[in-house]
Amino acid sequence: MSDPRTVAVLGAGSWGSAFARVLGLSTSPEPARASEIVMWSRRAEVAEAITERHENPEYLPGITLPTCVRAVTDAAEAVRGAGVVVVAVPAQHVRETLRTVCADLAPDAVVVSLVKGLERGTDARMSQVCAEELGLSPDRFAVVSGPNLALEIARGEPTATVVASASRATAERIAALTAGRTFRPYTNTDVVGVEIGGVVKNVIALAVGICDGQGLGDNSKASVITRGLAETTRLAVALGGDPATMAGLAGLGDLVATCASPLSRNRTAGRHIGTGLSAEEAVAAMSQTAEGIKSVSAIVHAARAHGVEMPISELMDRVVAGDVAVDRLAELLLARDLKSEGRTA
């Protein structure tokens, strides 16, 4: 059995570290908040800085982590005895990471995904990857997603988020674990909708970044954002999600935050592409994860399999593959198949 107040965080990048800080600063009454947070970092110097100096200078320079946060370099050690295991590594590495901890996961542990990507090759959402690799029942899984730029949260700026689980009790438990003076979790049971909102907004932010790189103004960006929300909603509904989720924090909220913020890695990657870099060069120019570039092929594949039209994602897939010349990007962003006329967006 596990200790419900010990939380493991797999991944010591920007969101894993900021989330560990959120957990450590929860103002929920005991025993709803965590007493110990054990992060897993692949690099010994990062683990040492977190444990000894209470900071992660590479990802969150100048931010102090609570003293109840420490880090280890062995993922299995991090999860041993933990009542809650938070997954905060890039989507394409979630499956291999889970395989290294599966044998050490407590049979009653709840797994929480912070990850906003689909797995290439399987089109799997992270709830599906966790269920497959860890044999989790739906009540032992939750996803946290919303307008949650890690650096703003680490600085203590107020934000809201969504905790979704098939089990309302699990969602409420994870919400209590995170709730604090500047972090306000809402709960729902729409795991599919919350996951898809977080995944597709990265691709729409790529397109908005391209608008920036091309010197386009706010009409173009608002059109891309609005049409982007429409195609996100179509995919979410086709996969069993609730359209109402897309009007909330995990849909529109995250889309607006990511598309508007210069902190967004996906928007930044798009801006690089819009000025003429290839997707590979854009990734190389940044040190952090841009999930939209990695996930777009799986999104498009899933959409086609379900007969869902996603014109912006289709274009971003071609852009990432290097199939579209930069001087055609502006014209193609809002291009539209005439047979789609009459639909709302």
Ligand X SMILES: NC(=O)C1=CN([C@@H]2O[C@H](COP(=O)(O)OP(=O)(O)OC[C@H]3O[C@@H](n4cnc5c(N)ncnc54)[C@H](O)[C@@H]3O)[C@@H](O)[C@H]2O)C=CC1
Q: Residue 161 interacts with ligand 13P (CB under 6 A)?
A: no
Site track 123-162 with ligand X (rule: CB under 6 A), x = hit: -------------------------xxx------------
Residue whose CB is less far from ligand 13P, 105 or 290: 290
CB of 340 to ligand X, least distance (A): 29
Length of the chain, please?
A: 345
Binding range to ligand X, per CB under 6 A, among 112-120, 129-137, 245-253, 326-334: 112-120
Binding range to ligand X, per CB under 6 A, among 30-38, 108-116, 298-306, 316-324: 108-116
Binding range to ligand 13P, per CB under 6 A, among 163-171, 173-181, 260-268, 319-327: 260-268
Q: Which residues contact 93 (CB under 8 A, 6 or more apart)?
A: none
Q: Residue 97 interacts with ligand X (CB under 6 A)?
A: yes
Tokens for 252, please give them.
């529109």
Output phi, psi for 163, to 5 deg: -110, 115
CB of 103 to ligand 13P, least distance (A): 31
Q: How many CB atoms lie within 10 A of CB 133?
A: 18
Number of residues this chain uses to bind ligand 13P (CB under 6 A)? 13
Q: Which of 156, 115, 120, 164 has its CA nearest to residue 138?
A: 164
Q: Residue 288 interacts with ligand X (CB under 6 A)?
A: yes
Burial class (CB in 10 A: 0-12, 13-18, 19+), 112: buried
CB of 2 to ligand 13P, least distance (A): 28
- Sign for the CA dihedral angle at 288, 161, 177, 92 comes to negative
Residue whose CB is less far from ligand X, 216 or 254: 254
Site track 116-135 with ligand 13P (rule: CB under 6 A), x = hit: x-------------------
Q: Residue 291 interacts with ligand X (CB under 6 A)?
A: yes
Binding range to ligand 13P, per CB under 6 A, among 52-60, 62-70, 98-106, 250-258: 250-258
Q: Which residues contact 268 (CB under 8 A, 6 or more apart)?
A: 209, 262, 286, 290
Q: Are 126 and 160 in contact (CB under 8 A)?
A: no
The rounded distance, in Å, linking the Cα atoms of 81 and 84 is: 9
Give catalytic status of residue 339 as yes or no: no
Q: Residue 159 interacts with ligand 13P (CB under 6 A)?
A: no
Q: Which residues contact 234 (CB under 8 A, 6 or more apart)?
A: 303, 308, 309, 310
Q: Which strand ranges, in their side-by-side order, compose the sheet holding 3-10?
A: 69-72, 36-40, 3-10, 82-87, 110-113, 141-145, 159-164, 183-188
Site for ligand 13P, rule CB under 6 A = 116, 147-149, 202, 205, 254, 257-258, 264-266, 291
What residues are labeled active site? 201
| Binding stretches for ligand X (CB under 6 A) | 11-16, 42, 59, 88-91, 93, 97, 114-117, 148-150, 288-289, 291
